[in-house]
Structure 1
Amino acid sequence: MENIVFLNGDFCKAEDAKISIFDRGFIFGDGIYEVVPVLKGKVIDKAPFYERFEASLKKISLTSPFCRAELDAILDTLIAKNDVVEGGIYMQVTRGVAPREFYFPENTPATFMAYTFKKNIIDNPLATTGVKVASCEDIRWKRRDIKSISLLGQVLAKEEVHQKGVYEGWMVEDGMVTEGTSSAAFIIKDGVIITRPLSNAILPSIRRKLLLEYTKAHNIKVEERLFSIEEALKADEAFMASATTFVLPIIEIDGKPIGSGKPGPMVQKLREMYIEAALKEASESK
């Protein structure tokens, strides 16, 4: 986390940023958030980022206090003030400060905050070694398509798999994998990428969206359907995708190797494909 943050119209030091204990984000988890990657000091994946951000706001009847042009300026300023070359930005909108009543308060300004963080995305050593995953029960609510700040289900799942010494968890509901605790989930069999179709059961992952576009352009076959842990264990390769990891190979699930137990060639190709497109967007960004 970097030192200069943005809160309700002002840039300030992180230690000086204060939010009321009556903010509905604190009381109810009444808000949404986004994470967007930064490469070469530029926000990337900007169009799908704004699309999902605005969709989540609309689904909970909340309006952003800033338009896209204003948000562009805020994010660019945050990047510059914190000297971020590679990493990401976290931003959050809540329904604001009001007496504790469950119904929506009237004429209450939203709370908006954002901060940057530095992270090695391109040369992530985990892309070379691969990561291990453990399965866990999906106990979340039924509107996972909303990027809600209410993440207790994911927190509990993350802690469960952390105690098992693995990098990520794959959540399972009715015998089928939904998604990772903070990533999209994919398996590969006979050259075909398999991933769960979009619905209220999963978050509309931006990395998923872009990867499917890239695979279509390269004539790589994709099947959008449900799959189980048992099927994943028989896959040739598996991988996860998220905002600040892009594509990472999964080499083990529940202590059992996937394929050769090492990062496979197709996942490496997909990662290279994604990085190439991301670097191009960063270079062309004004």
Structure 2
Amino acid sequence: MSIYFIDGKFADKQEISISVDDRGYYFGDGVYEVIKVYNGKLYTANEHIQRLFESADKIKLSVPYTEQQIIEIASKLVENNNLDTGHIYLQVTRGNAKRVHQFPNPSVQPVFMAYALTNPRLVANMEVGITVKSVEDVRWLRCDIKSLNLLGNVLAKQEAQEAGCFEALLHRDGVVTEGSASNFFGIKDGVVYTHPATNLILNGITRQTVMRLCQEIGLPIEEKAFTLREAFQMDELFLTSTTSEVMPVVAVDQSLIGEGQPGVITKKLQEAFAAQIPVPIGKN
């Protein structure tokens, strides 16, 4: 049995219904977040929830709960669903209203929904690395907003999947931006590079964690965009996301990166990230 949270109450999934007039359904008029859970504990929850509010503010959407209330809801979902390793999905839409493009006037109550999902760590992929396919980035120009408008991401991910790849490596006019659901990093001559946190990418929470880890372990890192051509010449490539953590990229468009296996620096960052993961209750 899966316990969800919607309209101010916890309920079994079978009891949940969404109105056909929800603006999230009509327009993708809403925002979302995904919080990782390790060993029954929320990981970087505050950062994710703060970004939820930031995304909502950018589209003039009011979140109907405080940050602390959302923490409590997420924690309760972990408990009610006996979640060990997985994630909590949070979503806020502008609410139920007649289908017109402009905001409802008068405004309506936003719809807040959350649920828990078991999602084990992708350890096997992390050990051997994954392949990606380069795809032209044709999304809108506000990728810094974690909105429900994901059709461009969906199409890119599907193109990668049809090519037998794990992820799409997006590039705009030949400049690497991010993945369909991840951030990308390149390593050249011991320096770690990643696209600056502009409107062209989502400033990933795991991205921010990895940048901090680079500083802590003494790895030089630059927020500097690199081209697709430069990506092929990197010594190492990796992507980051809430569900993929630090994921080595061993090939782009069937061309090997470096020696075609996870690199030394990527492995060092994987180890540093793993050290951040909350341990099971009662263990050190």
Q: TM-score range by the shorter chain?
A: over 0.9
For residues 263 and 236 of structure 1, the distance between their equivalents in structure 2, rounded to whole angstroms, comes to 10
Contact 1:171–1:180 (CA<8 Å) still a contact in 2? yes
Contact 1:32–1:94 (CA<8 Å) still a contact in 2? yes
Contact 2:45–2:71 (CA<8 Å) still a contact in 1? no
Contact 1:171–1:181 (CA<8 Å) still a contact in 2? yes
Q: CA deviation at 1:225?
A: 1.0
2:43 maps to 44
Q: Deviations over 1:38-70 (max 9, x none)?
A: 011111112221221110011011111111221
Q: Deviations over 1:49-105 (max 9, x none)?
A: 122111001101111111122111111111111111111111100000011111111
Structure 2 runs not aligned, ≥5 long: none
TM-score (structure 1 length as normaliser): 0.95
1:239 maps to 238
For residues 272 and 53 of structure 2, the distance between their equivalents in structure 1, rounded to whole angstroms, comes to 27
Structure 1 runs not aligned, ≥5 long: none
AA partner of residue 74 (structure 1): I
* Structure 1 segment 195-206 matched on structure 2, within 5 A: 195-206=194-205
Q: CA deviation at 1:233?
A: 1.1
For residues 94 and 271 of structure 1, the distance between their equivalents in structure 2, rounded to whole angstroms, comes to 35
2:101 maps to 102
C-alpha RMSD over aligned residues: 1.4
Q: CA deviation at 1:107?
A: 3.1
1:154 corresponds to 2:153: yes
For residues 8 and 268 of structure 1, the distance between their equivalents in structure 2, rounded to whole angstroms, comes to 43
* Structure 1 segment 241-260 matched on structure 2, within 5 A: 241-260=240-259
2:112 maps to 112
1:18 corresponds to 2:42: no
* Structure 1 segment 1-286 matched on structure 2, within 5 A: 3-105=2-104, 106-121=106-121, 124-279=123-278
Q: Runs in 1 of length 4+ with deviation above 3 angstroms?
A: none
Secondary structure in 2 matching 1:133: strand
For residues 96 and 9 of structure 1, the distance between their equivalents in structure 2, rounded to whole angstroms, comes to 14
For residues 130 and 181 of structure 1, the distance between their equivalents in structure 2, rounded to whole angstroms, comes to 17
For residues 251 and 222 of structure 2, the distance between their equivalents in structure 1, rounded to whole angstroms, comes to 22
Q: CA deviation at 1:283?
A: 6.2
Secondary structure in 2 matching 1:278: coil
For residues 255 and 99 of structure 2, the distance between their equivalents in structure 1, rounded to whole angstroms, comes to 48
Contact 2:41–2:278 (CA<8 Å) still a contact in 1? no
Identity rate of aligned residues, in percent? 38
Aligned length: 281
For residues 150 and 57 of structure 1, the distance between their equivalents in structure 2, rounded to whole angstroms, comes to 13
Contact 1:45–1:278 (CA<8 Å) still a contact in 2? no
For residues 83 and 279 of structure 1, the distance between their equivalents in structure 2, rounded to whole angstroms, comes to 16
AA partner of residue 215 (structure 1): C
